[in-house]
């Protein structure tokens, strides 16, 4: 019984050191293909996986992936390849006037 209690205490301590209660993504690799790791702009928002924006959906022009540390009351979370608010457009699309649109340059040059 003491061994079980000691094991539980050790596991809880290890989880608390990593980042207690975190269930989001820390990088692109935590997300499925066709998704990205994104964080909202609200205070203490946690990063989550979201689908890449599709044709006709909203996007953020010049929304580059960030490598940063996010601060929370219970710790600091290091993240890589994190986007703000929205994922970039899916392959073959570009963000123009805040909407994902077909990349006509690729289509006109038969590169798509």
The Cα 47–Cα 30 span in angstroms is 11
- Report the percentage of the chain scoring pLDDT > 90: 65
pLDDT digits (tens, 9 = 90+) for 5-24: 444 444 333 433 455 556 78
Q: Is residue 90 part of a domain?
A: yes
Q: Is residue 12 part of a domain?
A: no
Angle at 84 between CA 57 and CA 66, to 5 degrees: 130
Determine which of 15-19, 52-56, 64-68 has the lowest per-residue pLDDT on average: 15-19
Mean pLDDT across 47-52: 96
User: Smallest Cα–Cα separation from 6: which of 20, 14, 17?
Assistant: 14
- The mean predicted confidence, pLDDT, of the chain is 82
> CA dist 4 to 8, 20, 72, Å?
6, 21, 31
Task: Say yes or no to pLDDT of 107 above 60.
Answer: no
**pTM score:** 0.71
What is the maximal distance between C-alpha atoms in the chain?
Answer: 71
Total of domains in the chain:
1
Mean pLDDT across 66-80: 92
Residue 87: per-residue pLDDT: 96
DSSP-derived pairing of the beta strands 99-102 and 93-96: antiparallel
Q: What is the CATH number of the domain that holds 100?
A: 2.10.80.10
Q: What domain range is 103 assigned to?
A: 24-108
Q: Is residue 103 part of a domain?
A: yes
Q: Is residue 34 part of a domain?
A: yes
């Amino acid at each position: 019984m003491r061994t079980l209690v000691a094991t539980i205490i050790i596991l809880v301590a290890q989880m608390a050191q990593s980042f207690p209660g975190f269930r989001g993504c820390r990088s692109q690799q935590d997300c499925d293909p066709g998704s990205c790791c994104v964080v909202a702009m609200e205070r203490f928002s946690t990063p989550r996986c979201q689908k890449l924006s599709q044709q006709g959906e909203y996007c953020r022009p010049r929304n580059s992936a960030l490598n940063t540390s996010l601060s929370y009351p219970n710790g600091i979370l290091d993240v890589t390849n994190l986007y703000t608010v929205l994922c970039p457009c899916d392959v073959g699309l570009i963000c123009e006037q805040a909407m994902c649109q077909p990349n006509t340059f690729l289509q006109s040059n038969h590169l798509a």
